[in-house]
């Protein structure tokens, strides 16, 4: 998701420079926010054990699903 967020930001800047319609403000803000949340949850999942790690891992999947549905389908 972090690589995708950087890619969306690069495309947004290129579209702004060239005057082309770009991804839009929701996608330009949503992808980096989702990436930061997912990286934080993944860090928790990697460093903890038990229910906390499972919950953080599930949180990564939930954030990915929400980001996919909200930023790509609508």
The answer to whether 32 touches 17, Cβ cutoff 8 Å, is no
pLDDT of residue 1: 87
Spell out the residues 6+ positions from residue 68 whose beta carbon is closer than 8 angstroms to its own: none
H-type alpha helices, 1-74: 2-18, 25-47, 51-68
Of how many residues is the chain composed? 74
Question: Could you tell me the pTM of the whole model?
Answer: 0.85
Cα–Cα distance measured from residue 48 to residue 54, given in angstroms and rounded to the nearest whole number: 9
Output the six-digit token pair for 15.
């579209």
Which segments of the chain have a pLDDT < 70?
74
């Amino acid at each position: 998701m972090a690589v995708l967020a950087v890619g969306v930001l690069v495309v947004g800047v290129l579209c702004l420079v060239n005057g082309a319609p770009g991804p839009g403000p929701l996608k330009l803000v949503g992808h980096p926010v989702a990436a930061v949340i997912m990286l934080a949850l993944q860090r928790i999942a990697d460093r903890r054990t038990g229910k906390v790690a499972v919950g953080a891992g599930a949180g990564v999947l939930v954030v990915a699903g929400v980001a996919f549905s909200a930023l790509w389908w609508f």
